[in-house]
Amino acid sequence: MKARALLLGVAALLSGCIIFDKKSEAVTFHQLASPAAATTRPGPTIFVPRSVIPSALRRPNVVLIDDTGWVRIEDAHRWVAPLDRAVSEAVGRHLTALTGLPCSTQSPTDEHLVLLLTVDKMEVFAPAGPSRSLFSIPGTAASTDTATLQVTFRLEKSDGTLLSAKTLSRSTPLKERSPTEFTQAQSANLAAVAGEIALLLPNPSSSK
């Protein structure tokens, strides 16, 4: 009987079936920082649908990628909301804080503007040097990495008329390759990108 039980146990291991306690590892949730701003101007409303993000980032986990091909998926670190929605919501709140205009992630029924966002890059940039390696262990040397963000946006009228289109890039130094530092740095990058977009928004009084 004992021999049979031992054989069943070995068979389970060979089949690749591994059972572990999911509760043994705590999960930390991260959120892109943005201000809680009140609308101070009547319109036009800016509709900001979900952004387009790289396929590697379309998961609940925080994913750290660099330009050498180094990838780390953080099982214990996740986004509070899907990243494509979080980016649009954060940009919308920044724009409201900067311009006073209302922003929405739901399509308005009246005349409005549409802001389409495509995240081209949201990664870690590792500068060239003797220590630059896909196999280097993060945290073993002084960090010279930066968090880079590249966003392409299109600003349109509700009828599809193009008002503006541009690709914007920002970078912020990283103290270390960690989900917390990465989130803080990308939050700063996103705020800078939103600031540039705000400058390109049409003046409501002159658009009538």
pLDDT in tens, 101-112: 999 999 888 889
For residues 18 and 58, which has the higher predicted lDDT (pLDDT)? 58
Looking at residues 32-54, what average pLDDT do you find? 92
Task: Give residue 207's pLDDT band: very low, low, confident or very high (50, 70, 90).
Answer: very low
Looking at residues 20-27, what average pLDDT do you find? 60
Alpha carbon separation from 17 to 9, 13, 14, 20, 206 (Å, rounded): 10, 6, 8, 10, 66
Nearest by Cα to 148 from 164, 168, 134: 168
Asked whether the predicted pLDDT for residue 56 surpasses 50, the reply is yes
Asked whether the predicted pLDDT for residue 11 surpasses 70, the reply is no
The CA angle 172-121-34, to the nearest 5 degrees, is 55
Asked whether the predicted pLDDT for residue 138 surpasses 70, the reply is no
What percentage of residues in the chain have a pLDDT greater than 70? 78
Asked whether the predicted pLDDT for residue 71 surpasses 80, the reply is yes
For the chain, the first-to-last Cα distance in angstroms comes to 86
Burial of residue 127 (number of CB atoms within 10 Å: 0-12, 13-18, 19+)? exposed
Say how many C-beta atoms besides its own lie within 10 A of residue 78's C-beta: 16
Backbone angles phi, psi at 54, to 5 degrees: -60, 145
The CA angle 169-171-177, to the nearest 5 degrees, is 135
